[in-house]
Amino acid sequence: MAPAPVVPLVPGIWRIPLLRDQINGFILRDDDGQVTLVDMGLRSSGPKVIAALGAIGSTPSDVTRLVLTHAHPDHAGGAAHVASRTGRSFDVHEGDAPYARTGKAPPRDRSFLLGRLFDWVAGGQAFTPVPVDRELTDGDVLPVAGGLRVVHTPGHSPGHISLLHEETRLLITGDAIFNVRRLRWPIRAFCTDFAMTTRTAEVLGELDYDVAAFTHGPELRDNPREAIRGFLARERAG
């Protein structure tokens, strides 16, 4: 059976499984029908993002905002396709905006051999350059479905962000934390600064939300804040 093109999370917000549950994007739709898309997956995922719009009864012309949590090729790979189909540019944190514009991923953590090797092998263009409209900063509130708050959680990349939709109490963690089989850190060598990733993720335990959605892995609906706080506490103790 083919996976569903979208998974409802809360009223007006859907997860887009772009590679099963392993890579996800998101749709947020206002009451007036305006649509915001968050993260576009791999280079091959752009058409899946557009198809997901049809699954909720929307079209590319309804899209008024595009957002990237960060400029890695598994999130920005399909971005150029979606930009061309919607006629929109992207909102990206100022720390990742230069990488999005050039299509070059931020540097990896060179304290790990794999990070150094990855930078050497993939030192060129990682994805098609992305048109950037607005450079975001921590605490910005985007006028999306009642307000989408930008939470700067750097480390995985310089401008990595998580997003909190306070009206529906939904958190999108981005790659600050994965939920692949269990809560876990992103791959260390794929971070720009893994130690910083573990520090800045602490803010996710301080926010209020009832659903936690991940760009890698399925959502948590059963006491997600407690689960994330427990994970962070165990990591501190370990």
Q: In this structure, which amino acid lies at residue 183?
A: L
φ/ψ of 90, rounded to 5, equals: -105, 150
Which parts of the chain fold into alpha helices (H)? 46-55, 73-76, 79-86, 97-102, 113-121, 194-200, 224-237
In terms of C-beta distances under 8 Å and separation of at least 24 residues, what long-range contacts does 202-206 make, across chains too? 202/232, 203/151, 203/153, 203/162, 204/151, 204/153, 204/162, 204/171, 204/173, 204/176, 204/177, 204/228, 204/232, 205/229, 205/232
pLDDT of residue 126: 87
- The answer to whether the predicted template modeling score (pTM) of the entire model surpasses 0.85 is yes
> pLDDT confidence of 119, banded at 50, 70, 90?
low
pLDDT bin (cut points 50, 70, 90) of residue 52 is very high
* pLDDT value at 101 more than 70: yes
The whole-number pLDDT of residue 125 equals 61
Per-residue pLDDT at 121: 54
Give the contacts of 5 (CB within 8 A, at least 6 positions apart): 16, 17, 48, 51, 52, 54, 55
Mean pLDDT score, 76-93 = 98
Q: How confident is the model at residue 17 (pLDDT cuts 50, 70, 90)?
A: very high
Enumerate the β-bridge partners of residue 67. Answer: 38, 91
Instruction: Identify the sign of the CA torsion 116, 119, 120, 122.
Output: positive
CA terminus-to-terminus distance, the chain: 41
Note the pLDDT of residue 115.
46
Domains and CATH numbers, the chain: 7-104+111-237 (3.60.15.10)
- pLDDT range class, residue 198, cuts 50, 70, 90: very high
At 110 the pLDDT is 61
Res. 143: pLDDT tops 70 = yes
Compute the Cα dihedral for 190, 194, 199, 205 and give only its sign: positive
Return the DSSP state at 78: T
Residue 3 has pLDDT above 90, yes or no: no
Q: For residue 165, which amino acid is it?
A: H
Mean pLDDT of 161-177: 97
Alpha-carbon distance of 155 to 184, in angstroms, equals: 15
- pLDDT at position 124, please? 57
**Mean pLDDT for the stretch of residues 165-186:** 97
Between CA 137 and CA 156 the distance in angstroms is: 16
Is residue 230's pLDDT more than 80?
Answer: yes
Please report the pLDDT score of residue 108 as a whole number. 83
Which of the four pLDDT bands, split at 50, 70 and 90, describes residue 238? Answer: confident
**Region 27-40 average pLDDT:** 97
Residue found by looking up tokens 């007036």 in the block: 32
Range name among 163-167, 193-197, 226-230, 234-238 with the lowest pLDDT average? 234-238
How many Å apart are CA 154 and CA 158, to the nearest integer?
A: 5
CA pair distance 29, 81, nearest whole angstrom: 20
